[in-house]
A and B are shown apart, each in its own frame.
Chain A
Amino acid sequence: MNETAGVAVDSSIAVHRERWRGKTILGLVFCSPLILIFLLLVITPILYMLYMGLDRSIYPAVFSDPIFIQTTWNTIIFVGLAVNVKMFLALVLSALFSTEHRATKILAGVFLLPWAIPALPGILAFRWMLNGEWGIVNKVLNDLGFASIPWLVRRPTALGAAITYHIWKYLPFWTLIFVAGRRSIPKELYEAGVIDGTSSMQKFQYITLPMLRNLYLICSLLSMVFTLGDFVIIKIMTGGAPGDSTHVLATLAYRYTFQMGRIDWGVGTFVTALPITLMFIFILIRWVK
């Protein structure tokens, strides 16, 4: 009797293992195009970049570039300010767009427009608006009795313009994410809060914020990774001017690689930023888990 039972168990395990193996192989077959693409287009270039980055002789050349340190600072300022201000505003605005009022829905539609506008014409339009002589921003300032400001001619205002554009462009997307996050918070929690007599601020502090905490952090990290690699805004808006004072690592790496033909220096620039990027990704993965 026992023997029969033992054979039955063994047979069941064998069938289960067989089925699992079959499923795994089939799964791998169906995933193979994606795996192949991932290996070819993601893993191989990264490994090759790391291999090139092992050449120590490239770093003295990159670090001796007089604009490298300032460029690193610019990147920190650009990413730090753009991401944090944008995320904070997105969190605040998501409260407005979470309301059920009809006007809010119309407003939300309009609010999404910057996200839908292609980056290039958007940045060029910004540049024209900020033109020192005939831009609309200075025209408004002049009409109000203020002097013109050469926005793109000074490093702080030029970087500020790039940060402002970034926030304008990507704020709607992250606001939308937070709106979705807010809507997933159970209404019962707010109802319980009402019964306990909590104020709006207390609801935000004790219900909304803790419930959105993880989402907020994950979004911030994702946005930091995206913004760190953002090349287009600075390239088109300032092109590093005035006097190479507004470059970020992405535009500097582009200059090294595609204008000077120094792919090794371009790699060196990215490898310099890699520990920070990897740290963000590592924290991100930990949080997602």
Chain B
Amino acid sequence: MKRRGVLTWRAPWIAALCLGLALIGPGLAGVAGAGEKPKLVVWWNKGYYKEEDEGMQKVAEAFARENNVDVELTFTIQDDLGPKIISALIARRVPDVAFCFFTDWQISPKFAWEGKLTDVSDVINELKPRYIESHLKTGWLFNKAENKWSYYSVPIEAQALGTHYWKDLVQEAGLNPDPKKIPMTWKEHWAFWKKVQDNLRKKDPTKYGKLYGIGMTESSRATDTFYNFEQYLLAFHGEVLSPDGKVVAGEAKNREAIVKTLAFFTSIYKEGYVPPDALTWTDADNNVNFGNKTVVMTPNPSISIPAAAFFTNKDVYYNKIGSVLQPASPVDGKGYPYLVSVKPIIIPKDAKEPALAKKFIRYVLETKHFTEYVKASNGRWFPSFKDVAADPFFHDKKDPHVPVATDQHLNYPTRPFYYSYHPAYSQVYTENVWGKAISRVVTEKWSNEQAVDEAVTRIQTIFNAWK
């Protein structure tokens, strides 16, 4: 009885003590560890190839050793890392450095606007002489909290729209698979891929009955759709925003160009030259369909398709897959700027070690370190720095793919996406208004004009609400 009484009345105090220790413990540990080295928390996008991660791991270890600091480097795939960074920025419990392939369109425009990113102008100004000029624009963002434009992210690498095709399928269709022989005028270019499909289906209906000439992503769930649409919109000489960030999509000339671009996408689909499921593809599905040889060609916003083959089948990389750029404008037969999606590093404003974070970024972007890192992606990413791009790797004439991308980035006009002009466009991008417009026409039988008007109205509504 007495024993139970003691247990009864002491128990709350014991529980309170345990709870107190649990709460105070981490604080005590913090005091005990006060003399430890500074720690830099880095969230990095997991690379497509293990060599990329290994390369970054090496750089981080070297930085930690040389500066006597701890670097906590974690790799996460972009589909998880994007939401993770967004959650962290909202909750204000952030890493010191974050790099994600989604940052340029999903994160930096909005959070720079809200004043939640560190101004990195000092880093950019040091690196400026090395930069490819058009890549810099991605980092130049508006901070509404402080009412100023400045650099709030550090662009490091980019991708642009290329086209890959199976040479053997083109050959089997009785056409010349040499990249130099692929027609590069608008009408002839697309007619060429249609002809490959027609010839192959005619030649062997059993084998090629479900092969499609054009692997165009047309889905509202894939960012590739948006990329393709806006790139070809430039071919039709259309603009959605003016350089000062105003919506001009409704102007007659631009509306007409958007309607023509949409008509191009929907007509190749309706004519049966694009796989029906392209309307539901994810970003990976054109790669998968190309790999399965159910499509002859696919436009893709990087050279990830041949780059993947490099590690698995050299014959495919060097002999079976061909790479070309985009056909000339249907309007005037001339070239037009290539859209570059430039991937930047950010330092959240709430970072605990902003100075160390900047030092880390400078270290990673040193020519020697960054060249090794970016080369590990096997050309999937093109560096934002001229000295790195001068590395022989990007100019190897025996390589059928990397120099094509190099030529595109260095010798053609390039420009950023519209979210670099106004952060509201990142919402337009996320809503994938063009993917939705394609679906309206194809599945709901809207006219191209109706679908464009709905999309333009939606863009205007989003911009009106962005205050």
B: residues with CB less than 8 A from A are 4-5, 7-9, 11-12, 15, 19, 82-83, 86-87, 89-90, 106-107, 110-111, 210, 212, 219-221, 275-277, 279-280, 282, 292, 294, 426-427, 430-432, 435-440, 442-444, 454, 458, 461, 465
Contact = CB atoms under 8 A, between A and B. Distances in A.
28 contacts: A25-B11, A64-B461, A132-B276, A132-B277, A133-B212, A134-B210, A150-B279, A153-B276, A154-B443, A239-B221, A241-B220, A241-B221, A242-B280, A242-B442, A242-B443, A243-B279, A243-B438, A243-B439, A243-B443, A244-B220, A244-B431, A244-B439, A245-B439, A257-B86, A259-B82, A259-B106, A260-B110, A261-B110
Most buried by B among A36, A66, A154, A259: A259
A131 interface: yes
Given A261-B90, A261-B111, A132 B275 contact: yes
Nearest to A263: B90
A contact residues, range: 20 to 34
Nearest to B282: A239
B426 to A, nearest CB: 8
* Nearest 5 CB-CB pairings of A with B: A243-B439, A239-B221, A258-B83, A22-B8, A241-B280
Nearest to B454: A66
A133 B86 contact: no
Contact of A242 (B7, B107, B279, B431): B279
A238 interface: yes
Nearest to B12: A29
B89 A261 contact: yes
A36 B90 CA distance: 25
B440 A258 contact: no
A81 B276 CA distance: 27
A35 to B, nearest CB: 11
Contact of A133 (B19, B276, B426): B276
Contacts of A258: 82-83, 86-87
A259 B430 contact: yes
A257 B88 CA distance: 12
B343 to A, nearest CB: 17
A150 B281 CA distance: 12
A203 interface: no
A67 B381 CA distance: 35
Contacts of B89: 261
Interface of A: 22, 25-26, 29, 32, 36, 61, 64, 66, 131-134, 150, 152-155, 158, 238-245, 255, 257-261, 263
A240 B83 contact: no
Contacts of A132: 275-277
A153 B280 contact: yes
Nearest to A64: B461
Nearest to A235: B221
A283 B100 CA distance: 45
A170 B334 CA distance: 57
Given A25-B8, A32-B15, A245-B439, A261 B221 contact: no
A26 B219 CA distance: 60
B461 A133 contact: no
A136 to B, nearest CB: 14
A32 B15 CA distance: 9
Contacts of B437: 243
B277 A244 contact: no
B280 A152 contact: yes
A32 B17 CA distance: 13
Given A259-B82, A259-B106, A133 B220 contact: no
A126 to B, nearest CB: 13
Contacts of A154: 443
Contacts of B86: 257-259, 261
